[in-house]
C-alpha cells in the first residue's frame, strides 16, 4: 500500500512539473541592458546591439510589456542564433521553457 501511495505521489509530481512548461510565440527578444530603451518599439532593436550587450543576458518582452529574463542556457541559445542570423533587427522568437518568477529556464529557442 505504501509503495502505491509513493508511486501515485511521484506521478502527480511529475505531471505538475510538466504543466509548468510554457511556450511564448513570436515574442520580442531583447538584451537586459537595452530593454528599457527599446520597450516602446523592440522590433527596431538590432542584432549588432544585442551581440554587443550579450554579457548582460537576454529575455523576452511579453504582450503585456513584462520582461522575462533567460537562464544561462537560454542566453547561450539566443546568442548563437543572433550570431548565425542574417537579420539586422526585428528579433522575434518562439521560446519554450519553465517560468520561475521573472526568469525562464529555456528548453528551446527558435529565432523567427
SS3 state at 90: coil
pLDDT tens profile 78-108: 999 999 999 999 999 999 999 999 999 999 9
Task: Kindly state the percentage of the chain with pLDDT values over 70.
Answer: 83
Domain boundaries, the chain: 22-111
Residue 44 has pLDDT above 70, yes or no: yes
What mean pLDDT comes out for the span 30-36? 96
Characterise 57 by phi-psi region: left (phi > 0), alpha (psi -120 to 50), beta (else).
left
Residue 14 has pLDDT above 80, yes or no: no
What mean pLDDT comes out for the span 62-71? 96
Q: How confident is the model at residue 20 (pLDDT cuts 50, 70, 90)?
A: confident
pTM for this model (two decimals): 0.81
Amino acid at each position: 500500500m505504501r509503495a502505491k501511495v509513493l508511486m501515485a505521489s511521484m506521478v502527480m509530481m511529475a505531471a505538475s512539473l510538466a504543466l509548468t512548461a510554457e511556450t511564448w510565440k513570436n515574442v520580442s527578444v531583447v538584451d537586459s541592458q537595452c530593454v528599457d530603451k527599446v520597450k516602446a518599439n523592440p522590433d527596431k532593436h538590432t542584432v549588432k546591439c544585442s551581440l554587443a550587450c550579450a554579457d548582460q543576458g537576454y529575455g523576452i518582452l511579453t504582450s503585456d510589456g513584462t520582461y522575462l529574463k533567460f537562464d544561462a542556457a537560454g542566453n547561450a541559445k539566443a546568442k548563437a542564433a543572433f550570431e548565425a542570423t542574417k537579420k539586422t533587427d526585428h528579433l522575434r522568437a518562439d521560446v519554450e521553457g519553465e517560468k520561475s518568477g521573472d526568469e525562464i529556464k529555456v528548453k528551446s529557442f527558435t529565432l523567427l
